[in-house]
Structure 1
């Protein structure tokens, strides 16, 4: 048999919904399926409508807004609480029209082709409706009932009303008892197994904080890597709550449980205060704050509400300002990073502190489940595409070099590190699946200007040289000073490249990508448009140029939130003016 929304489980579910928990969390908390929750919400909505509330008021009482509410509204307007096997309303209207002319019940029923049992049920239903606001004698006269029939129906109606009251009272008692059991279970101390799990998670994060990888930490704790991944996902999905227990100044869960029991026993506020060792005004304030709309006091819900209110929650800045939220969402859609967005806001609105943000605010809005008001469903939240924060794991040693006659990065001029002189480039390849297709990526250190060239059919040394020579052909000599690369085989003919372009080529140490940090950062930006594991040969030259244009017109914090294209253009114009002078 299906559970009803008036059952103890249904009462707890609806209480959680009114608290604003949401459908899925509320259903999960009471152990029901989401479909059962929808059915209970519909039944509660129809009950509110039958009591005279309109559509908006019923939704507000539920604490739930959904497209399904419109279906419930239509169902209520068309069915009016009638059974799904009901006759057409016009048939019932014809019956009442015939009965009002003075015909007998059987005669009026026969005139519309119905048996007397159906019309008796209709008349009894009308009797119950009229008795809610009219006297028995008046109803008997209006419906032309005999004295015996009216007396029998009156007794039956009273019996049904008393049974409904008793059922509701029993359901209330069951709901309060069930809420107490759950609250006591939550307030009970942790079992030994739960304590071990909590301690294991604390030790896991201590190991990760000391530099251990996920695999190493799990190996030292004797658990699988899946458990470590679960820890990371759960921690990224929600901010860590404070473990500091409340002081004795505040009521605890056990006191609230005892208070609920004493209230059911009919004790006065002073008697409850004496039993708990609290002032009666404390008990009164507790009840005034945490009783629901029906006057019931649920200790578990009250304790949760009190804990939340003790934190003095403040509305998030992105949630409170629709204008600021729309600006951030637009820039995130354009693939800007949170730091770029915050820097742009400070330049665009220098006199408006209400439109200032910290990058961490955007990160938390994206990485935590509440989103902070951002609506990014179905879109990548960050350029990395991740939904949780990822720790930096250490990399192992690389292979032996295969490029001959290399000039190492230690011999590179010191002026390159200062970024005060333009024309110093860093380069690399991003590789497609199967190491077949590739793209050459170049980035200038001072201006941060980037170039991407597609190599759809291979990345041999000859093809790589040709791509770089073509890409840099239009630049003046003062913007072609040095090129820093890793020790990949695509640089096997680096001497020919240096002779053709006039570049001094230097090589980074093995497994040291941080020595080419500007280019590695640029590779991450490019991978946003050409993800790992995808075939790079399918992208046309026009598409690659479009991506370069978008990347070079983004503001950069290191450039004072100017764009790389503008800074490179200024470098070219500055030298041109000097030459004219």
Structure 2
């Protein structure tokens, strides 16, 4: 069995071509011997000598430099041409700056796939880079370890009916608060409808049970609440005073049990990052409207507003 190999990724280098030039032109070694020295197939050396031929006045010689230039030209023609154009670059980059995900931007394009968009970003071929994407890094999900809260405020999420778990009906909401700064300041009350992912955001004066209940009492006049799913924060300890529907509390340190709401909070952070000292009711309403009309892959790129209107 032959002891040489010339698999993909093991092309002849310029240093090896210089050795071939010396052994072939000066030392007059046979092609088979050169192949043994370089651990290549003899046919590979034959092809290489033909590729690097230069014709002089009297005889023909092998030139390592000529062979390398010929190889570089051939290499530049490898692969299919890129579909990236200046117009595509401008469209994709503008979408990323407008806080859209690549999945949503893709719906406006033709002839490319999502993997291609990520490839262009990774290679640095666009005006926007990886750190401009919404969530460029992902951590491995931790294993579930259910921990029951020390002071349960009401029903456990384990008691939540399968109808709610499977998102079969409209009117079941996940609730949370989003802090803007560590100091005592205005904060956001967020509610996400589980079936349609429709979002409600309200600016409340502080993170207290009284502020949360006041906002919920006002919302009940225009919104249908069949159930609420909450974490075990103290601001949600008195939800039963504000709503008549069942309230289910997640396990401790298990924010993923309100996954839809947590993902929506991340979307809000695109506009109000941590440390935002001031915002207005008008600005919050604008974010709420933007989220309601943001296309969702899970709904075949329909918006929560379209789903909500159908609900």
Residue 491 in structure 1 maps to residue 221 in structure 2: no
Would the alpha carbon gap of residues 493 and 521 (structure 1) be closer, same or farther in structure 2, given more than 3 Å must change? same
1:551 is matched with 291
Structure 2: runs of 5 or more not aligned: 36-41, 55-62
| Structure with the higher fraction of residues in helix conformation | 1
What RMSD in Å do the two structures reach over aligned CA positions?
A: 3.7
Match of 1:330 in 2: 94
Which runs of no fewer than 5 residues in structure 1 stay unpaired?
A: 1-243, 289-294, 350-354, 572-581
Give the 3 Å change call, closer, same or farther, for CA 298–451 of structure 1 in structure 2: farther
For residues 368-517 of structure 1, the aligned pairs below 5 Å read 368=122, 370-371=123-124, 373-376=125-128, 381-384=132-135, 386=136, 389-392=137-140, 394=142, 401=149, 404-434=152-182, 436-437=184-185, 438-455=187-204, 457-475=205-223, 479-498=224-243, 502-517=244-259
- Render the CA deviation track for 1:149-188: whole Å, top value 9, x for unaligned: xxxxxxxxxxxxxxxxxxxxxxxxxxxxxxxxxxxxxxxx
**Do the aligned partners of 1:454 and 1:541 also contact (CA within 8 Å) in 2?**
yes
Q: Deviations over 1:356-395 (max 9, x none)?
A: 43323222322x2x23x32126x962113x4xx3332538
For residues 315 and 262 of structure 1, do their structure 2 counterparts lie closer, same or farther at Cα, with a shift above 3 Å needed?
same
Name the CA shift for 1:435/1:298 in 2 (closer, same or farther; >3 Å): farther
Partner Cα distance (1:260, 1:492) in 2: 83
TM-score by length of 1: 0.44
| Equivalent residue, structure 2, for 1:83 | none
CA contact (8 A) 1:451 1:471 kept: no
Q: Distance in 2 between matches of 1:273 and 1:251?
A: 18
2:65 to 284, 297, 301: 297
Q: 1:248 & 1:506 partners in 2: Cα distance? A: 58
What is the aligned partner in structure 2 of residue 363 from structure 1? 118
Contact 1:402 1:488 in 2 (8 A): no
TM-score w.r.t. the length of structure 2 is 0.77
Deviation at 1:423? 0.7
Deviation, structure 1 residue 421:
1.4
* Cα offset, 1:473, TM superposition: 3.1
In 2: Cα distance, 1:483 partner to 1:248 partner: 58
What SS does the corresponding residue of 1:434 show, helix, strand or coil? coil
* Aligned CA distance change for structure 1 residues 436 and 380 (closer, same or farther; 3 Å): farther
After superposition, the Cα gap between the structure-2 partners of 1:332 and 1:405, relative to the gap in structure 1 and judged at 3 Å, is: closer
Q: Which has the higher contact order (CA 8 A, sep 6+)?
A: 2
- Once residues 273 and 286 of structure 1 are traced to their aligned partners in structure 2, the CA distance between those partners, rounded to angstroms, is 16
1:217-256 Cα distance to aligned partner (Å, 9 max, x none): xxxxxxxxxxxxxxxxxxxxxxxxxxx9736995355522
Cα deviation 1:169-209 (Å, max 9, x = unaligned): xxxxxxxxxxxxxxxxxxxxxxxxxxxxxxxxxxxxxxxxx
Q: 2:9 & 2:134 partners in 1: Cα distance?
A: 47
Q: CA deviation at 1:436?
A: 2.7
Flag as ranges the 4+ runs of structure 1 deviating above 6 A: 301-304, 395-400
Q: Which has the higher strand share?
A: 2
Q: Is the 8 A contact 1:397 1:510 kept in 2?
A: no
Name which of 250, 256, 261 aligns with 2:17. Answer: 256
Provide the rounded CA distance (Å) in 2 between the counterparts of 1:247 and 1:356: 29
For residues 480-525 of structure 1, give each alpha carbon's deviation from its aligned partner in whole angstroms, at most 9, with x where no partner exists: 2111001111112111122xxx332111111222211111111111
Distance 2:96 2:251 in 1: 36
Q: Give, in angstroms, the shift of residue 296 of structure 1.
A: 7.8
Counterpart of 1:313 in 2: which secondary structure?
coil
Q: Deviations over 1:454-494 (max 9, x none)?
A: 23x4201111212233344322xxx3211100111111211
* Inter-partner Cα distance in structure 1 for 2:29 and 2:97: 57
> Structure 1 residues 286 and 298 mapped into 2: Cα distance closer, same or farther (>3 Å)?
closer
- 2:308 match: 568
Residue 526 (1) aligns with residue 268 (2): yes
SS of structure 2 residue aligned to 1:426: strand
Contact 2:18 2:64 in 1 (8 A): no
